[in-house]
Amino acid sequence: MKEITKKYSEGDLTVIWQPHKCIHSEKCMRGLPSVFQPDNKPWINPAGASADAVRKQIDKCPSGALSYEGQHTTSSNESSLRVEVRKNGPLLIHSKMILESDGVEKPIDAAATAFCRCGASSNKPFCDGSHKKINFEG
């Protein structure tokens, strides 16, 4: 999957979406449907709620596909590492990190990154939500 990064700005807030990281948990659109509207183009409307509400919802993104820049850039878990094993789902790493693959280092600056545990992802090592399709248990 091509690594695309899209940015949507409103005032001092820029919402960043990296679709290749998305595991389609739908937390964004269920939590703040006035901003995250998958049937619209563009699907992210940062003017649909206050900047604080948008930031709080983005902080709940389990994969790190959504992040933001602006006056109050997220700083949660910057100095600590938290690993979360999601039941029947991905391994979530809550930390900034450097991912090394085939000798190439790639910095990852996200609140959380979802790594595949089921083996079915077409975007390895990242989770793409395939665990739902294969009814992964673990």
pLDDT tens figures, 30-74? 999 999 999 999 999 999 999 999 999 998 888 889 999 876 554
Does the pTM surpass 0.75? The reply is no
Which domains does the chain show, CATH number per domain?
6-70 (3.30.70.20), 82-133 (3.40.5)
Q: What is the largest CA-CA distance in the chain?
A: 43
Question: How far apart, in Å, are the Cα atoms of 40 and each of 37, 45, 119?
Answer: 6, 9, 32
Helix, strand or coil, per DSSP, at residue 134: coil
pLDDT for the residue 78 = 42
pLDDT tens figures, 83-106? 889 999 999 898 888 888 888 888
Helix, strand or coil, per DSSP, at residue 30: helix
DSSP letters spanning 116-131: -SSS--SSTTB--SHH
Name the phi and psi angles at 121, rounded to 5.
-60, 140
